[in-house]
Amino acid sequence: MNWNPEKYLIFETLTGSRLYGTFTEHSDYDYRGICIPPAWVTSSLFQNFEQKDSGFEEPDRVIYSMSKFFKLCADANPNIIELLFTPENCWRYISTAGRWIIQNRDVFLSKKIRYTFSGYAYSQLNDIKRHRQWFINPPKEKPSRESYGLTSAPLISGDGLETLANRLDLLKPEAAEEVRRELSYRDAKRQWDNYLSWKNNRNPHRMALEEKYGYDTKHAMHFFRLLEEGRQLLLNGNIIFPLENREALVEILNGKYEYEELISHAEQLDILFNSWYERSALIHSPCRDDIDRVYQEIISYNQIEE
Most trustworthy range by pLDDT among 1-10, 22-31, 217-226: 217-226
Cis peptide before 59 (omega within 30 of 0): yes
Describe the crossing of helices 204-213 and 217-236 by its angle, rounded to 10 degrees. Answer: 100
- pLDDT at 303 (0 to 100): 74
Q: Which helix (H) or strand (E) holds 127?
A: helix 113-136
Q: How many CB atoms lie within 10 A of CB 35?
A: 25
| Residue boundaries of the structural domains of the chain | 5-109+286-305, 112-282
Checking if the pLDDT of 58 tops 80, the result is no
Q: pLDDT per residue over 59-89, tens digit each?
A: 899 999 999 999 999 999 999 999 999 999 9
Q: Which residues contact 19 (CB under 8 A, 6 or more apart)?
A: 13, 30, 82, 86, 90, 241, 242
CATH 3.10.20 fits 5-109+286-305, yes or no: no
Contact 40, 57 (CB under 8 A): no
Checking if the pLDDT of 25 tops 70, the result is yes
Output the CA–CA distances (angstroms, integers) from residue 58 to 29, 30, 197, in the order listed: 8, 9, 22
Contact 227, 272 (CB under 8 A): yes
Checking if the pLDDT of 170 tops 90, the result is no
Contact 26, 205 (CB under 8 A): yes
pLDDT range class, residue 101, cuts 50, 70, 90: very high
Q: pLDDT per residue over 132-166, tens digit each?
A: 999 889 988 999 999 999 888 776 666 677 677 77
Checking if the pLDDT of 105 tops 90, the result is yes
Mean pLDDT in residue range 167-184: 80
